[in-house]
Amino acid sequence: MRQVNLGMIGGGTVGGGVYEAIRRNGALMASRLGVSLTIARVAVRDLKKARAVNIPAGLLTTDWQSVVADPEVNLVVELMGGTTTARQVVLAALKLGKPVVTANKALLSAHGEELFAAAQQHGTNLYYEASVAGGIPIIKVLREGLIGNRITRLFGIVNGTCNYILSRMKDEGADFDAVLADAQRLGYAETPPDLDIDGHDAAHKTGILASLAHGFWVNPKQIYTEGIRNITKQDIEFAAKLGYTIRLLGCVKTMSNGELRMGNGRPARGTKFAIRNSQFAIQVSVYPALVPNSHVLANVNGVFNAVYVRGDVVGDTLYYGRGAGQDATASAVLSDLADAALDLKCGTKNRIPPFIPHERDGAVLPMDDVVSRYYVRLTVEDRPGVFAKIADILAKAKIGISSIIQPEGHAGETVPVILMIHDAPNAAMKRALSAIAKLPVVKSAPVMIRVESFE
């Protein structure tokens, strides 16, 4: 049986998981693949570090270059994280014509275009299943399973740490910082965890999915990104009373001409963006959103992720599983190892390229022009005339209120007011809220959370 020797760079949470999973299921994989996978060498930073998974000392080194260059190593697995040395590792391996498996979404987001081009140039491949949504094989789904579809909608809960925090805040009334510490202890969070809670990790993943689904490289700077740092228990409770659950969502939506331009070819009312003839436009964004409790994504809890994909042929599909942690991520790495090993065995170096450019140019719609519904929480003085002032600003901006909720208070007190707002462009909404914030009766910065309708 053919043997493929793996050179692993990184033996931490994910690396340890891959080592353990191959120890447990390596023979099973070999019987299924007709190729045996052997971990030949593992590069780490610190040889003396105590490891939860005991990797034999004889395999360990601190010299990643020697692992990549080792003629016995046929496949390099980058599991170190970061974007600087990791980029060097991946490029060095690809230049030697060695296929690379990576779980590193930050690296792909920052340098994906360069790395995919290098794989192509050197006649090898870059595999990245573990970079998005942990154990869910979503890359394979988009690259192969749905290859005959144009993707019109993709909504993802793609950050396990944020979903874990939001779920425990809702279910137990737990405190943000305490839950984050648990997520770190369980090996879910990035280093530093700001990457998770400020939405950047979800943006890296959403950008990868958008690029793969739409065939043009989405620049991460064009992805509107909001994290969950400002989500309070109060908003979680109000949302629940209104029949919603707050989730951090990655959204990729194809905009039809009608959504962007009116019959006369001009941009739709309140928006500025116009697409050229050769172009199509997509919304690519990450933000906390109110998800109706009746929608399946509202019921994705804890560290679980889910990706909801609508294709023009298949219709709606849903993929669900653990989004972070040692074993879920190891499972995705094993899937890539199997693909890479089969490609080596069959000599099909580029059976399906890592990233497939499409025939047309795509453009990312500026967030200012994205239209959505909103939940707004204001803290106002409870006295006559307050609503009239707020409603007047919204009416002048042509923004409609669908409902107003004010818990019973006492005259003169400061009370919360919740406004549910009809569809409006983001720029118009931002301007209106900034005017509302300046009213003397408004006592703190307005809170605005988008409401997703999944249409």
Which positions lie near ligand HSE, rule CB under 6 A? Answer: 134, 159-161, 188-190, 196, 201, 323-324
Binding-site size for ligand NAP (CB under 6 A) equals 28
d(CA 293, CA 425): 24
* Contact pattern from residue 137 through residue 176 relative to ligand NAP, giving x for each residue in contact according to CB under 6 A and a dash for the rest: ----------------------------------------
**Quick one: which of 76, 130, 249, 290 contacts ligand NAP (CB under 6 A)?**
130
Q: Which of residues 371-400 bind ligand NAP (CB under 6 A)?
A: none
Examine residue 100 and tell whether it contacts ligand NAP (CB under 6 A): no
Examine residue 321 and tell whether it contacts ligand NAP (CB under 6 A): no
d(CA 199, CA 207): 12
Which partner from the list ligand HSE, ligand NAP, none does 10 bind, CB cut-off 5 to 8 Å by kind?
Answer: ligand NAP
105-126 b/e (C-beta count within 10 Å ≥ 16 → b) = bbbbbbbbeebbebbbebebbb
Which partner from the list ligand HSE, ligand NAP, none does 161 bind, CB cut-off 5 to 8 Å by kind?
Answer: ligand HSE
Q: Which of residues 178-237 bind ligand NAP (CB under 6 A)?
A: 187-188, 190-191
Residue closest to ligand HSE, measured at CB = 161
**Quick one: which of 15, 199, 207, 227 contacts ligand NAP (CB under 6 A)?**
15
Examine residue 126 and tell whether it contacts ligand NAP (CB under 6 A): no
End-to-end CA distance of the chain: 51
**Quick one: which of 13, 109, 125, 331 contacts ligand NAP (CB under 6 A)?**
13
Label the pairing between strands 401-405 and 414-425: antiparallel
User: Is 289 or 448 the residue whose CB approaches ligand HSE more closely?
Assistant: 289
The count of residues in the chain is 455
Instruction: Classify 46 in phi/psi space as left (phi over 0), alpha (psi -120 to 50) or beta.
Output: beta
**Quick one: which of 12, 207, 220, 446 contacts ligand NAP (CB under 6 A)?**
12
DSSP line for 258-314: HHHB-TTSSBPTT------TTEEEEEEEEEEEEEETTSGGGG--TTEEEEEEEETTT
Please provide residue 437's backbone torsions phi and psi, each rounded to the nearest 5 degrees: -60, -25
**Quick one: which of 33, 44, 364, 380 contacts ligand NAP (CB under 6 A)?**
44
d(CA 445, CA 437): 6
**Quick one: which of 8, 33, 80, 447 contacts ligand NAP (CB under 6 A)?**
80
36-65 b/e (C-beta count within 10 Å ≥ 16 → b) = bbebbbbbbeeeeeeeebebeeebbbeebe
98, 170, 205, 253: which one is catalytic?
Answer: 205
Find, among 216, 251, 246, the residue nearest to 229 by Cα. Answer: 246
Residue 372, classed as helix, strand or coil, is strand
Examine residue 57 and tell whether it contacts ligand NAP (CB under 6 A): no
At residue 344, what is the residue type? Answer: L
User: Is 80 or 419 the residue whose CB approaches ligand NAP more closely?
Assistant: 80
Label the pairing between strands 2-9 and 75-78: parallel
Please, what is the minimum distance in Å from the beta carbon of residue 8 to ligand HSE? 18
User: Is 223 or 436 the residue whose CB approaches ligand HSE more closely?
Assistant: 223
d(CA 186, CA 326): 9
Q: Is 349 a catalytic residue?
A: no
Examine residue 14 and tell whether it contacts ligand NAP (CB under 6 A): yes
Examine residue 49 and tell whether it contacts ligand NAP (CB under 6 A): yes
**Contact residues for ligand NAP (CB under 6 A)?**
9-15, 43-46, 49, 64, 79-81, 85, 103-104, 130, 134, 187-188, 190-191, 324-325, 329
Active site residues: 205
